[in-house]
Amino acid sequence: MKPAAFEYHRPDTRPEALALLEQHGGDAKPLAGGQSLIPAMNFRLATPAVLVDLNRVGDLAYMRVDSGVLRIGAMTRHRDVERSEDVRRAAPLLFEAMPFIAHAAIRTRGTIGGSLAHADPAAELPAVMLALDATFRVESVRGAREIRATDFFTGLFGTALEPGELVTEIQIPVTPATGPRTGTAFTEFSRRHGDFALAGVAARVTTDERGTCVSARIALFGVGDRPMAAAAGARLLEGQTVSDDLLRATADATAREDIDPTGDIHASSRYRRHLAGVLTRRVVARAFERSRVTHEE
Amino acid sequence: MTRPSFGQRVRRNEDARLLTGRAMFVDDVNLPGMLHVAFVRSMMAHGTLKGIDAAAARQRPGVVAVYTAADLGDYCKPGPVLVNPPPVPGHVFHGCTQLPLAKDKVRYVGEPIAMIVAESRYVAEDALADVIVDIDPIDAVVDLEAALKPGVPLVHPHLESNAAAHVVQRKGDYVAARAKADIVVKRRFLYDRGVAAAIENRAVAVDWDPRAEEMTIWDTTQAPIPIRNGLAKMLGLLESQVRVVAPFVGGGFGPKIMMFYPEELLLPWAAMRLHRPLKWTEDRQENFYATTQERGQVHEAEMALSKDGRILGVRDWFLCDTGAYDPYGLTIPINTQCTLLGPYDIPNYETEFTSVFTNKPIVTPVRGAGRQHGVFVSERLLDIAARELGIDRVEIRKRNLLGPDRFPHNHEIMFQDSAPLVYDSGNYLPTLEQAAEIIGYDKFIREEQPRLRASGKRVGVGICCYVEGTGIGPYEGARVTVEPSGTVRCATGVGTQGQGHFTVLAQIVADALGVGVEDVRVVTGDTREFHWGTGTFASRGAVVAGSACHAAAMSVRGKILDLGSAILGAPADNLELSGGRVKVAGSNDPGIAFGDLAGRANPLRGAVRPGTEPGLESTAYFGPDRGSTASGVHAMIVEVDPETAAVEIKRYLVVHDCGTIINPLLVEGQIHGGVAHGIGNAFFESLVYDDQAQLMNASFMDYLLPTATDVPPIETAHRETPSPFNVLGLKGVGEAGCIPTGAVFAQAVEDALGPGAGVEINEIPMSPNQLFELMHVSGKERA
Amino acid sequence: MNLAGTFTFAGPRATVWALLHDPAVLAKALPGTKTLTLAGPGRYEGAMKVSIGPLTAAEFAVVVTLSDEIEPSHFAMQIDGKGGVGFAKGSATVDLAEGADGGTVMTYASDIQIGGRIAAVGQRLVESVGRMMMKQALDSLNAELEARVKK
Amino acid sequence: MGANVRVDVTVNGTRHRRDVEPRLLLSDFLRQDLGLTGTHVGCEHGVCGACTILFDGEPARACIMLAAQADGHEILTIESLAAPDGTLNPLQSAFRQAHGLQCGFCTPGMLMTLTAFLRDNPKPDEPQIREAISGNLCRCTGYQHIVHAVQIAAGTRAEDAE
């Protein structure tokens, strides 16, 4: 299990990196944390001709909050995100999800941008970004553009990135700024701690002062070819106050209408759908609870 | 006085090397000019091998040689049958073993087809894709029952069917017993395959010195001596020209036994041709194909009982997957037949199996070796009978246990060691009672479970018994030497894969000689040091090699006393051995240090008296007539999430009896590891083959080994019923932890879901997905 | 892996039949196809290199053999792909029926066996990849069909 | 394809300069090029944790990093833990006390993972310890004695506790 040979570049600056990606086009893979790419290369299921190692590019790792937006540089390591006070305050959902990603020794190397660009349908972060309505800044030698998470994930490991483009920054609207009564919650069901989830759910619920839901976002992972926004489920919540019946109806609608899971050796399509419903009910209930807590504070 | 170490929690002699990264494993062998090996392996499970084109691989820069079966000439012969079947009357056995490189036909995914030798493993892997292999596929034989139907392709076409073996064993008259029974419970049980998953993969490194005509082989084997002897014969060398070293080995669990794996045969052969050192280290993906596996069995079993819950008899009929070849004979299914009897008085027993060739990797023993299947069948049948008869689960077991007055107990069927199955000793009732008490069985059933169930929690308890035949022959040997430095050396043939032989065997020798455990240097697994013996398997290392070490140490003790008596002028029975010195008991004279005595026993001048030997050294052997029988009870409390079908183990208890305990700390370690392995088998680990025998989860991403958050803290209690079959009273413990785990897991989960759920678990492993399906199906049926 | 379903083409059955037998069209429609040529009656040979995100399985040599052809309503095919990291082998049937509004309803069923490292490591993705490739191929064929019908 | 690249790396306090093939895995570099065979390789896909080292002080899997990526960085391996005279450090010693190893193959990865963990979390409770080592597979011990060893090292369990 040794990788096939490749041409290796380790640029020091962002323009150099973008130029290399442009020059090699589809033959080049950016190497961020490498925690998914190098295992695939060791199996020789990934055999990139050129690797552009981003680890020396200095200005891609940062976290800061400005004008209601949490900005995270794409090369920020998971470990730094999970330990960040800014993240805990500004994006509690992201903070809650971080420990579910693999294990500490993977999170020390893995990066937030790498994970999102990899777009594994069973990964936690893409769904979290959908639930938080995040936006990704992408750059190439031709310039920069911004892509909403809802438009970014296009299919199985598929993204809206064009050849030569690189995710450089993740922009997350600060949670309290979207409404004082906002609650978020995250959970997943996996066989073992750190494994890819058989199903997982991230939710964000905002209520008015009477506890009526004014907006809701639910995103699932592990149950489709990409992170799935549960539109039908979320729609049922809007204008309603929380009740067991509402939670059940939301979970049912999500499991029935919003996802179309495939089966694998760990979980059949039917079991995944069932889990998605159970987890949606639990997560949305917790998000509602937390929206009350924010309110009471 | 040197305090005896027996029964003490002695810390291990080998740990310092392992903890600092100094311990040598096979893959650590790096010699100048070393070449690296990779194997082209079949991608098809079954097919006719029509052609191999290795021309491009041979051209690749950095590739030194490519060998196919055609290049091996006479060396391309099927490997030996390693364990001949025991002499059960009427048995049928077709021994079919593997060629080092496939010729004409491939029989499982991963079967080696060509060997590539290159300057690095990287280049060798590059060359794998250069070799074009033309295979005409044949439908794969996967399912055990389908394999025996007429018209199915044959894994070995020279045979009439895919049956590899057939054995019937009988005790009493089951048919008559059944006719008298008040109730007969009958079920079908499945227990599926897993890998041993030692964290160290296999590896072989070879150095052939053409001038000295000596070969050194470093091998991750549990049995270096048989490997040396076999290889010497195959290579046309004297046994003394071949040295096999099993240095530190990173876990064995069965498949590293004396397999004569193709890689073990081919590297020495190639080293003699290339005159350069070679190394092959299996990668994790290869390990899922190229290393043997175990467990696949299907049982149809019934138990006949009286209405008061006494077992009148058991009939079991089963199929045992032996994979593509059957070099290990009948060890696994015979173990299953024998272990099914458990601690119970089963007067009438009829057991029949057919071993089946399939297009899956070769099956040889993995920790437990067929025993868990037998326990699963009998314990599940008892659970079902208890439910149908309205008898408590613990009570029905108590009613059937063999009493302490029934030993030695002859079960009248043949065990894997070709001797009748005789339990040496045991005391089962107190073990069961102690387990029930520690886990709080009565209170749990009466109070806690109803209370928790009322609050919506699904909790359950399981409790199961087992016995385990351990410590079988044929023999092991040991040589104990007192060196002039005073250090005591103990050399034995069994390899060590983490069991603690460097400490346990040292304890045996230390106590015999009155020295500290740390003063005994144990050497294992190097044929240059000791070359008579078999290996580490069947929970036998401490029992058999330990008894040999004891005998050798006692003989050295005799020499010390004789010589000490002559020098100190006191009768031998007035002398004591302590602190590495021999002295007159009760005297203030310090006596003589062993080192000085060793010097005197090997004089440079003067004569060694006739009838004596020089030095303080003795070699001794121990060969038990039959194995010793360990036993125990496992209990488990689980909570099941009725919505997700997730199972959480809340408590796990093992009360066990492995005879005299040398070192409780190490015994507990063996049990913990076994239980973790058993939990893996029960709930996490599953080899998933598709209908063409393609393995769908050949990685640690999808083959789920239990982690620290999946294995609960394990409570243990020890009982000691010494074996009368060896001087020290020892019984083996290496496999005990994993044997009843599946059965106790099934019982606990059923109990948690409650009788209303109608869930019966007759299949291991049981994933949350499978459990969900069972809950769902039974729910529908109920409605 | 079993993939089965129906798909409605926005065009007449005879044109759909022709498209499904045109190697140039199929080469464009099947994701990852590098070459595809008619090697004999009902026999197509080619090379594919399927990429899914970071996973770029090495090149596959592909042979597709058509049989049981009943123009314009039915055919069966044998699919045989071999590469350095695995193989895909299987069979499929395709039935074409005239649908509403001049469309054509295709009913397909396939049983594809995946072997080697792709199956061993990629099991989590196999079904999704199958579905994705089928969808892309059908969408692409339909687009080609619409273009032809417009002409 | 791909010219060799320069690796200038400090391992266990010693600086090494080598030119390596870009595809050389860090685990192979440490074991073969530098002869530091204490770092073990168990899966080469980042799951078993046997090859865990400290990369700039943080645990990382050497089998899914390239040697080239170590250029300019500091690495600590199992060989760095004991004193030069071989005296075990408190964590190593606790492993011996608690019988926290059997075959010892996973042990280097366990020790390196735990070295960073105990530095950041000197008094962990049992669930935290179990989570900390949940990315390191051990087939021998069932983990319990490893947990005990960590507790001894953290001073929350007596050395001779049974």
Please give the pLDDT value at position B605. Answer: 74
Sequence length of chain C is 151
Q: Mean pLDDT of all residues in chain B?
A: 94
Q: For residue A4, what is the nearest residue in chain C, using CA coordinates?
A: C58
ipTM, two decimals: 0.96
Which element (helix H / strand E) includes A294?
A: helix A269-296
Please give the pLDDT value at position B531. Answer: 93
Give φ, ψ of B244 to 5 degrees: -110, 130
Amino acid residing at B402: L
Q: Stretch A262-286: mean pLDDT, rounded?
A: 96
Could you tell me which residues come within 8 angstroms of residue A163 by beta carbon, excluding any fewer than 6 positions away?
A: A21, A25, A26
CA B360 from chain center: how many Å? 20
Our CA-based measurement puts residue B644 at a distance from the nearest CA of chain A, in whole angstroms, of 6
Across A220-224, C81-85, D81-85, least confident range? C81-85
Q: Does domain A7-53 have CATH number 3.30.43.10?
A: yes
Answer yes or no: is pLDDT of A295 > 50.
no
Could you tell me which residues come within 8 angstroms of residue B193 by beta carbon, excluding any fewer than 6 positions away?
A: B293, B294, B295, B296, B321, B360, B363, B686, B687
Nearest to D59 among A2, A10, A105 (CB): A105
The helix/strand/coil state of A258 is helix
Assigned CATH topology for domain A61-173 = 3.30.465
The helix/strand/coil state of B28 is helix
Chain B residues in contact with D40 by the CB 8 A cut-off are 25, 199-200, 250
- Are C37 and C23 in contact by the 8 Å Cβ rule? The answer is yes
Please give the pLDDT value at position A75. Answer: 98
Among residues of chain A, what percentage have pLDDT more than 90?
90
Chain B residues in contact with D150 by the CB 8 A cut-off are none
**Does the beta carbon of D160 lie under 8 angstroms from any beta carbon of chain B?**
yes
* Of C151, C150, C146, C127, residue with least CA distance to C25: C146
Please give the pLDDT value at position C130. Answer: 85
Chain A residues in contact with C125 by the CB 8 A cut-off are 156
* Of B128, B80, B137, residue with least CA distance to B106: B137
Amino acid residing at D103: C
Write the DSSP string, B617-677. Answer: EEEEEE--SS-EEEEEEEEEEEEE-TTT--EEEEEEEEEEE-BS-S-HHHHHHHHHHHHHH
pLDDT band per the 50, 70, 90 thresholds, residue A297: very low
- Go through B104-114 and write b for each residue having 16 or more CB atoms within 10 A of its CB, e for each that does not: ebbbbbbbbbb
Please give the pLDDT value at position B783. Answer: 42
**Does the beta carbon of A190 lie under 8 angstroms from any beta carbon of chain D?**
no
Helix axes B501-513, B546-568, angle to 10 degrees: 30
Amino acid residing at B233: K
**DSSP 8-state symbol, B697:** -
Please give the pLDDT value at position A175. Answer: 80
B-D interface: how many C-beta pairs under 8 angstroms? 183
Query: What is the spatial distance between Cα A218 and Cα A127, in angstroms, rounded to a whole number?
Result: 9
Q: Select from C3, C52, C85, C134 the residue whose CB has the most chain A CBs within 10 Å, as the one to mutate to test that interface.
A: C52
C-alpha dist (Å) from residue B633 to B421, B427, B654, B717: 21, 12, 6, 10
CATH of domain A182-296: 3.30.390.50
Please count the other Cβ atoms lying within 10 Å of the Cβ belonging to residue B561.
18
Answer yes or no: is pLDDT of A178 > 60.
no
CB contact under 8 A, C120 and B288: yes
CB neighbour class for A85 (10 Å; exposed up to 12, middle 13-18, buried from 19): exposed
**Predicted confidence (pLDDT) per residue in C89-140, tens digit:** 889 999 999 988 889 999 999 998 889 888 888 888 888 888 888 888 889 9
Tokens of B622: 């121990």
Please give the pLDDT value at position B613. Answer: 83
Could you tell me which residues come within 8 angstroms of residue A254 by beta carbon, excluding any fewer than 6 positions away?
A: A218, A220, A230, A232, A233, A276, A277, A280
Our CA-based measurement puts residue B14 at a distance from the nearest CA of chain D, in whole angstroms, of 9
User: Considering Cα of B446, then B671, then B732, then B518, what sign does the dihedral take?
Assistant: negative
Residues 65-94 of C with CB under 8 A from B: 84, 86-87, 89
Nearest to D23 among A5, A34, A103 (CB): A5
CB contact under 8 A, B19 and D104: yes
Nearest to D139 among B15, B281, B677 (CB): B677
**pTM (2 decimals)?**
0.96
**Does the beta carbon of A262 lie under 8 angstroms from any beta carbon of chain C?**
yes
Residues of chain B with pLDDT under 70: 1-2, 538, 606-608, 778-783
Please give the pLDDT value at position C57. Answer: 66
**Does the beta carbon of B612 lie under 8 angstroms from any beta carbon of chain C?**
no
Cis, peptide link before residue B408, omega less than 30° from 0:
yes
CB contact under 8 A, D104 and B248: yes
The helix/strand/coil state of B302 is strand
pLDDT band per the 50, 70, 90 thresholds, residue C59: confident
Strands (E) located in B238-384: 242-245, 278-281, 293-294, 297-305, 311-323, 348-357
- Are B491 and B207 in contact by the 8 Å Cβ rule? The answer is no
Q: For residue A157, what is the nearest residue in chain C, using CA coordinates?
A: C53
**Does the beta carbon of C5 lie under 8 angstroms from any beta carbon of chain A?**
no
Nearest to B690 among C84, C113, C121 (CB): C113
Tokens of B298: 């299907």
Domain extents for chain A?
A: 7-53, 61-173, 182-296
Q: Stretch D92-114: mean pLDDT, rounded?
A: 98
Nearest to D43 among B18, B672, B700 (CB): B700
Which chains have 3+ CB pairs within 8 A of D?
A, B
Please count the other Cβ atoms lying within 10 Å of the Cβ belonging to residue B234.
18
Please give the pLDDT value at position D2. Answer: 60
